[in-house]
Amino acid sequence: MFILEQLKRVQIADGVYFNTIYDDRFKTNRIAVTMLGELSEETAAANAVVPSILTRSCKAYPTYEQLSRKLDYMYGTTISGMNGQMGDFQAMTIFAVGIDDRYTLDGKSISEETADLLCGIIFEPNAENGEFNQEDFSQEQRQLLDALDGQFNDKRAYSMKNFREIMFKGEKYGINKYGTKETVRALTAKKAFDAYLEMLKKARVEIMCIGSGNTDKVCGMFKERFGKIERMPIETKTLIIPRAEEIKEHTDKLDVAQSKMILGFRADCADPDDKVPQTRLACAILGGTAHSKLFNNVREKLSLCYYCMSAYDAVKGVITIESGVQKENIEKAKNAILNEIEEMKKGNISDEEIESTKMSLVNGYMSSVDSSAGTQLWYLGQMLKGKKRTPQQAADEINAVTKEQVIEAIGKITLDTVYVLTGKEDEE
Amino acid sequence: MNIKTVESEIVKDKYYVIDHPSGLTIYVYPKEGYRSSYAIIGTKYGSVNTRFKVDGGEEITVPDGIAHYLEHKLFESEDGDAFARYAKTGANANAYTSFEKTCYLFSCTDKFEESLEILLDFVQSPYFTAQTVAKEQGIIGQEIKMYDDSPSWRVMFNTLVGMYHKHPVRIDIAGTVESIAEITAEKLYECYNSFYNLHNMALCVAGGVTVEKVLSVADRLLKPCEKHEIENIFEDEPYEVAQSYVEQKFPVTIPLFYLGFKENIGNSAATSKQLAYTDILLYILASSSSKLYNKLLGENLINESFGYEYAEGPHYAAVLFGGESRNPKRAANIIKNAIREMKKEGIDREEFELAKRAVYGNTISEFNRNDNIANSMIDMHFNDRELFEYVSAIANAGIEDIEQRLTEMIDPENCTLSVVCGEDVPDDE
């Protein structure tokens, strides 16, 4: 058993880990099961539709209405599925959140029932003859197609999707985790079910329990269920490209009032590199806070962008800078952003900027564990990395970074892709 | 100084309400074991307050979008902006303007007193000059454009435009590029001096804090001020909606819709109990376990983007349903029919019991988070409601309360359908 402050961790099957974080500050209990599987063109669509199918019904409650009513009865307990991405892998999470037994109106316990229902959702889905229930499947297939169309409605999400396809062409990381309209249309209830069985067999699984309920029984339930599956877990290693060879530039035209520009950089630093905190701090000084260089100089002083911010994905070793710009200012904004990076490389970073950014990052780490969802995400992230840290340990690492290390980190980043989504007309 | 303790056996928490001598009402909700704290100060002044009288004086009319503009400018003082000051404490700060209030907030894990000092100082220190006001035009102009590009924002706003003849809730919170061009430093001061009076404001803090900590800063920073009587002027608004259908063409692949029912509320906001009953009522009507939701889903008329809310502010209230739909007119008719049926048939006892449990559980879960707590407290304060009374009204609700509430609201014949679509949407035969 591995223990990290209040976290207890046990392996319950090959590649399956059960983590308990006891915390009686919360009025809810949360159980989240994250399955990390291959992200591929073939299975992305199936894995995207599966979480919604699973959480629509199960053997015991075979229609959406029946399951919803059961959850209402359990004081609005939520059982929900998410299709996420971590590095080159698809992360399917099925979770349940409900109020703790201390708060039920009739004094009856619901926590064990919740765990049991979640197990039912995951291990006894509404499927027969090797395929999901046809109605559940069709409903969720349609909704996934709508979600893909919805990506187009939100222009910021739409430009990010296009950007990713260009920068990560040929890399698993760039595969749309929702699949494409074509691959979603080609799905069947059987293909989706087969993909799910594959996931149960091959995924690396992390189960996180956060709250004050007794989790021994819950752990037993999952151990028994996973024990019946012949497990062959995959390796979860993300491909890192340290440096960009040449700059890819791409512009899309659409009827929009405000243009979007995204710059993508290879950071030459990714998990589990010890230098990750240095790159993280460098990226935050550049554009990660409301007092960052991009915010203060490009947005406020030059009034070039409505938003302009940078983000670092340490799993992949990539920095992205997103901005909303007027069409005639695109070139100016790009030069201004690149200029801020050059200034940092020259050492033009004040002690104040370093200190304030450290405080802001530390503030984020420390407050993340004041919510049960934040706690779940923090520890899930740690379990999938080589090194496991508490928020305090992560804060200490950030605080230890020196100015020289920041300069070194920013000096290593290389521009890979410039993506612009702009209006068709020449007017504003 | 009067410090009142408000306790709830149901929530198993307590908070304190302080009538500070300066005129400010302060709420402190300690959350034991929390590392972080969240503080929000707000004034009962939002985008709809464009016509008013102070202490019975002359009527004043100000440009649309000025409350939002003022929010942006208040962050600045003579010696730099508030973000730069927060940078020294590590706090995460923000601000927003809605129809009925303007709020400034921060969250932090360290140096709470220093951050609270910054918050209380800058909201009491306006600094507007012709030059700093002019500089903001560009940034806010960009912000307005961003909203113009957002189909989900447009579809919601067009609903309000369709529902209201005269009420300023039909005007964009940020105003227009034209209206903000009329904003001057003098006008900002006029609004500031009228509405940023501590008697018209509240401070709510939740998290790892104590009353003593909060007061140690508040006592030092708050400048006592004289109370002003503010009379907000709203034109009489007809009962009926202005337009029953509004459509805007937009590059979207799936049409978006909003269906808004105009409520007849007069001058007063819903009470804690009315709000609790409304939440249960709407859950019975349109939650994912409702007959209506499952019918809409079964006919492929909605997807998971579907939602509903009760929106209210000074002199207006509305029940809104919305989401993506390939056939919004048909979806709207089904919603209207479900309301007619409910009004005729009454409420099913089992559905009521389930909805009550679900709304109760969801409400309890909200108390996990500092931001939810403090945001709810400030909202309750400005509407003369009380947070724990709301929770207890849910826990003790009877079916007759919900049936009574149903007779008071949602007139299925008085609504606006707003649609944002790429191509014409089909008619519902």
- Characterize the bridge pairing of strands A204-211 and A16-22: parallel
Q: Of B350, B322, B316, which Cα lies nearest the Cα of B258? A: B322
Contact B135 A105 (CB under 8 A): no
Give the burial class of B300: count Cβ atoms within 10 A of its Cβ; 0-12 exposed, 13-18 middle, 19 or more buried: middle
Q: Of B104, B206, B209, B92, which Cα lies nearest the Cα of A364? A: B92
Query: Per-residue pLDDT for A232 more than 60?
Result: yes
Q: Of A66, A186, A92, A94, which Cα lies nearest the Cα of A137? A: A186
* pLDDT reported for residue A243: 97
Radius of gyration of chain A (CA): 23
**Residue B310 within a domain:** yes
**Domain range list for chain A:** 2-227, 248-422
Closest in A257, A258, A356 to B87, CB measured:
A356
Q: How far apart are CA A143 and CA B305, in angstroms?
A: 9
Q: B418 has which bridge partners? A: B246, B258
For residue B351, the 8-state DSSP code is H
- Least Cα separation, residue A270 to chain B (angstroms): 26
Q: Of A150, A142, A121, A185, which Cα lies nearest the Cα of B298? A: A142
**Residue B427 within a domain:** no
* pLDDT reported for residue A425: 56
* pLDDT reported for residue A1: 55
Is-same-fold flag (A2-227; A248-422)? yes
- Least Cα separation, residue B36 to chain A (angstroms): 5
Q: pLDDT grade, residue A428 (50/70/90)?
A: very low
pLDDT tens, position by position, A101-134: 999 999 899 999 999 999 999 999 999 999 999 9
**Residue B96 within a domain:** yes
Last residue of a domain, one of B202, B232, B262: B232
Contact B139 A299 (CB under 8 A): yes
Q: pLDDT grade, residue A427 (50/70/90)?
A: very low
Q: How far apart are CA A201 and CA A190, in angstroms?
A: 17
Residue of chain A with shortest Cα separation from B88: A356
- A156-183 core/surface letters (b: 16 or more CB in 10 A; e: else): bebbbbbbbebbbeebbbbbbbbbeeeb
Query: Per-residue pLDDT for B367 more than 70?
Result: yes
pLDDT tens, position by position, A28-65: 999 999 999 999 998 999 999 999 999 999 999 999 99
Q: Of A219, A273, A277, which Cα lies nearest the Cα of A406? A: A277
Is domain A248-422 classified as CATH 3.30.830.10? yes
* pLDDT reported for residue A179: 93
* pLDDT reported for residue A279: 98
- Least Cα separation, residue A171 to chain B (angstroms): 28
Q: How far apart are CA B399 and CA A118, in angstroms?
A: 31
From the candidates A106, A258, A304, A370, which should be mutated to test the interface with B, based on the most B CB atoms within 10 A? A370
Structure tokens at B148: 């113009």
Average pLDDT over residues A158-165: 95
Last residue of a domain, one of B232, B265, B294: B232
Q: Helix, strand or coil for residue B279?
A: helix
C-alpha pair distances (Å), A421 with each of A160, A173, A187, B410? 10, 21, 31, 42
Closest in B253, B300, B362 to A153, CB measured:
B253
- Inter-chain CB pairs, A–B, below 8 Å: 181
* pLDDT reported for residue B124: 95
Query: What are phi and psi for residue B201, nearest 5 degrees?
Result: -130, 165
Contact B305 A254 (CB under 8 A): no
- Residue B251 contacts A, CB cutoff 8 Å: yes
What is the distance in angstroms between the CA of the first residue and the CA of the last residue of chain B? Answer: 65
Closest in A69, A366, A428 to B289, CB measured:
A69
- For a pLDDT cut of 70, what percent of chain A falls above it? 98
- Least Cα separation, residue B151 to chain A (angstroms): 7
Packing angle between helix A276-287 and helix A351-368, nearest 10 degrees? 110
String of DSSP letters for B58-117:
--EE--TTHHHHHHHHHTEETTEEHHHHHHTTT-EEEEEE-SS-EEEEEEESS-HHHHHH
- Characterize the bridge pairing of strands A204-211 and A28-38: antiparallel
Structure tokens at A243: 């440096």
Closest in A77, A257, A290 to B145, CB measured:
A257
* pLDDT reported for residue A3: 60
Residue A370: CB partners within 8 Å, gap ≥ 6? A25, B34, B35, B36, B207, B369, B370
Q: Are residues B204 and B329 in the same domain?
A: no
Q: pLDDT grade, residue A424 (50/70/90)?
A: confident
Q: What is the largest CA-CA distance in chain B?
A: 67
- Contact (Cβ atoms closer than 8 angstroms) between residue A417 and residue A264: yes
Average pLDDT over residues A73-91: 96
- A284-319 core/surface letters (b: 16 or more CB in 10 A; e: else): bbbbbbbbbbbbbbbbbeebbbbbbbbebbbbbbbb
* pLDDT reported for residue A302: 82
Q: Are residues B261 and B202 in the same domain?
A: no
pLDDT tens, position by position, B181-217: 999 999 999 999 999 999 999 999 999 999 999 999 9
Is domain A2-227 classified as CATH 3.30.830.10? yes
Q: Are residues B126 and B186 in the same domain?
A: yes
Count of alpha carbons within 13 angstroms of residue B247, beta-carbon side = 13
Query: A-chain residues within 8 Å CB-CB of B36?
Result: 363, 366-367, 370
* CATH label of the domain that carries residue B289: 3.30.830.10
Q: How far apart are CA B403 and CA A347, in angstroms?
A: 68
**Residue B238 within a domain:** no
- Least Cα separation, residue B235 to chain A (angstroms): 33
Query: Per-residue pLDDT for B16 more than 90?
Result: yes
Here the ipTM equals 0.91
Q: pLDDT grade, residue A5 (50/70/90)?
A: low
Say if pTM beats, i.e. exceeds, 0.90. yes
Contact B110 A359 (CB under 8 A): yes
Q: Are residues B382 and B286 in the same domain?
A: yes
- Contact (Cβ atoms closer than 8 angstroms) between residue A50 and residue A192: yes
Q: Output the average pLDDT for chain A.
A: 93
Q: Are residues B40 and B150 in the same domain?
A: yes
| A255: number of Cβ within 10 Å | 10
- Characterize the bridge pairing of strands B102-108 and B13-19: unpaired
Catalytic residue among B32, B71, B182, B304: B71
Q: How far apart are CA A65 and CA B289, in angstroms?
A: 5
- Contact (Cβ atoms closer than 8 angstroms) between residue A102 and residue A141: no
Query: What are phi and psi for residue B2, nearest 5 degrees?
Result: -90, 120
Domains identified in chain B, total number: 2
Structure tokens at B224: 């006592």
- Residue B369 contacts A, CB cutoff 8 Å: yes
Structure tokens at B135: 């500089």
Domain of residue B383 covers 245-421
pLDDT tens, position by position, A361-410: 999 999 999 999 999 999 999 988 867 889 999 999 999 999 999 999 99
Average pLDDT over residues B355-360: 98
Average pLDDT over residues B121-131: 94
Closest in A290, A306, A363 to B139, CB measured:
A306
B71 carries an active-site annotation: yes
Q: Are residues B28 and B171 in the same domain?
A: yes
Query: Per-residue pLDDT for B331 more than 90?
Result: yes
- A255 or A92: which leads in pLDDT: A92
Q: Are residues B197 and B296 in the same domain?
A: no
C-alpha pair distances (Å), B176 with each of B65, B191, B249? 7, 18, 20
